[in-house]
Chain A
């Protein structure tokens, strides 16, 4: 995978972290998983892994980001907000391939119209520039 390719499967499958194309993804995902689970033994290993690769500053930064999203998911789920329209239009294909639509809170968002769905992926490409998101090919080859 090139430096400009990110495989998104690590979001829904932690085991895919190492091949994601994101630097040190394996230790960052391990920390995120242990922090959410509150598994102390896993946390000890995960902290050691992050500090070993990114230093203690990296551990603080990563723990803070994970904690931030423990907050955001609860706000989103408890208020019933739908996805923002541009995000809905730009990410329908990705969400479909990652299987995120099975989450209960998906029912808070109506499917984007055909025009938005058609224009969404090109708009996403323009926004991301040379960064390429990989999601469909692997899920089709190895359905999970």
Chain B
């Protein structure tokens, strides 16, 4: 597999960022917890394909996405339910709802398959967004690795107010003890905890793109050339543009 490289970029990319992107691509190619390596890479390809989907464009322009009928322009490697999740979360995340989520589950996606899929989607979205920001083409997707998913569901995960079960803040123990320390976590970290490896991937990317969990607690801490106010302004503006309440 050829590793991600930004040597042709017009700006020098920090070594820690390059390394975390390479690790993300390695994780993407490997069999996950519920999906094979081939399926994970197919999901990544579908994320990129969503940008050119006429149905997604039409739905996003509509007052309500539910009033538009049609089907996604998909690459054909995944089920309709999987394609719907990938396209909707990639192209119009602000308008997903609990009813939509339940419909996706009824279409054959288990909660754990769904959570892992979200982990794959957001990995590709964020690395591609970074490339767009600095002005380089998105890196080629990795070749999938053979092997079987582990199909391991953490026993501590349980339903809360969120749509998907999560590991309670105080219950990251045993094999999940590394997910967060001493209950110091947030719902957005716990959101993917039904698939602990996706939390590990999220933490790895967030630590280089933004701040590690420990750094986050220190309000004087910035990132590289940016002070904390600048970092949080960018974070807040991106969240508002995406109409994210969280």
Binding site for B on A (CB under 8 A): 6, 8, 10-12, 14, 17, 20-25, 28-29, 31-33, 35-38, 43-44, 47, 51, 54-84, 95, 100-101, 103-106, 108-110, 127-128, 131
Compute the total of residue contacts between A and B using a CB distance below 8 Å. Answer: 252
Q: How far is the CB of A111 from chain B (nearest CB, A)?
A: 12
Number of interface residues of B (CB under 8 A): 71
Task: Please state if B245 and A83 are interface contacts (CB–CB under 8 Å).
Answer: yes
Complex-state Cα separation, A10 to B187, whole angstroms? 25
Chain A residues within 8 Å of B229, by CB: 6, 21-23
Q: How far is the CB of A13 from chain B (nearest CB, A)?
A: 9
SS class, residues of chain B in contact with chain A? helix
Task: Please state if B89 and A74 are interface contacts (CB–CB under 8 Å).
Answer: yes
How would residues 118 to 161 of chain B score, 1 for a CB under 8 Å from any chain A CB and 0 otherwise? 10011101110110111100000000000000000000000001
Complex-state Cα separation, A55 to B224, whole angstroms? 12
Closest 5 CB pairs of A and B: A63-B133, A80-B163, A76-B246, A68-B209, A73-B244
Chain A residues within 8 Å of B89, by CB: 74, 77-78
B66 within 8 A of A: no
8 further interface pairs, Cβ-Cβ under 8 Å (given A47-B133, A60-B134, A105-B243)? A6-B229, A11-B236, A28-B230, A64-B130, A66-B133, A69-B239, A100-B245, A127-B219
